[in-house]
Amino acid sequence: MKLFFTLALSAACVAGYAQPKLISQATISTKITIVAPEEEDGPPPNVQTSGNGEEVRVMRFGGEGESKSTTYLKNDLVKTFSESEMGRTTIIRDNNKKTTITLMEMMGKKFGIKSTDEEQEAMRKRLDSMMKTRNDNPLAENSEPKINIVYLDESKKIAGYDCKKALILSTRSNGKTDTSLVWYSPDFTLQGVSSTGGGGGFGSQTGSSGLELLKGFPLQYERNMGRGRKMTVLVTKIDFEKAVSDKEFEIPKDIEIRSMKDMQGGGGGMGIQMRIGG
């Protein structure tokens, strides 16, 4: 009888800490707000030079102001469409094949870039190498941060969902710690999507932001950015019921898709690095 009681109690405790439900189909609307300090002198140069003399053209997105995005999830496919004053960007991610296609419409021109995770990681390391020479840049310290999440006993409702509060502490090897405030739903997570609205690179998050370690899905979070700016990401609507069509992930016929290798001129010369809010 005592053994039975112990097992029953253990089962009740496990049930009390139920895992979030994994969702494989959804449509998520997100608002992104970036606030810059008053003393900011304007955008930095868009061409940087690495230690070996190679130039990398940095295309920056996510300047000061407000933008909106919509994310479509269907199993291993994720599409994020965003629109701002600079233009329109569509990122189509295949988590199974580990490839990302970025479609851009800017200044009346359309173009597309296809990349693999390996190519993105190689480009990130090249940029980090250049950033190390810029002591005032927060990306100069390129070691993987140590993540610690502090869960707080506070709650509020966002987009109709009850959310809990947490702090994500990212400490790098130089001892500097950055704190991000997060409100997350403990009821669900999204397959292959750790967050919306603040991805980097070509849509594949490189390195750890800590959001992927949450015990649920973030519906609102804040993040410190380069040049003293702060980004706030807020999920405004989630639809789990509406079926996501396969057509959402089709590439428009009027856009030529080039590989990252082609954009880099076959591995030499001028490279291109996509950065959001950097």
Q: What's the average model confidence in pLDDT over 31-56?
A: 61
> Of 72-81, 174-183, 244-253, which gets the smallest average pLDDT?
174-183
CB 130 within 8 A of CB 194: no
Return the domain boundaries, the chain: 30-276
φ and ψ at residue 87, rounded to 5 degrees? 145, -160
Residues whose CB falls within 8 Å of the CB of residue 226, separated by 6 or more in sequence, listed in order: 137, 138, 139, 277, 278
Identify the CA nearest to 94 among candidates 246, 249, 214: 249
Tokens of 17: 């800490």
Q: Is the pLDDT of residue 159 over 50?
A: yes
- The pTM (predicted TM-score) of the whole model is 0.77
Bigger pLDDT: 166 vs 200:
166
Q: What's the average model confidence in pLDDT over 54-65?
A: 52
Dihedral angle of Cα 276, 32, 215, 183, to the nearest 10 degrees: 140
- Give the pLDDT band of residue 191 (cuts 50, 70, 90): very high
- Give the pLDDT band of residue 162 (cuts 50, 70, 90): very high
* Per-residue pLDDT, 58: 46
* Per-residue pLDDT, 275: 42
* Per-residue pLDDT, 198: 63
Q: What's the average model confidence in pLDDT over 33-53?
A: 60
- State whether residue 91 is helix, strand or coil: strand
pLDDT digit string (tens) for 127-141?
777 766 665 555 445
Q: Mean pLDDT for the chain?
A: 79
Q: Which amino acid is at 245?
A: S
Q: Which amino acid is at 160?
A: G
Q: What's the average model confidence in pLDDT over 272-277?
A: 42
* Per-residue pLDDT, 45: 45
pLDDT digit string (tens) for 200-257?
333 344 457 899 999 999 999 998 887 788 999 999 999 999 999 999 999 998 898 9
Tokens of 120: 């993105």
Angstrom distance (rounded) from CA 142 to CA 216 = 27
Tokens of 255: 């856009």
φ and ψ at residue 6, rounded to 5 degrees? -65, -45
* Per-residue pLDDT, 194: 93
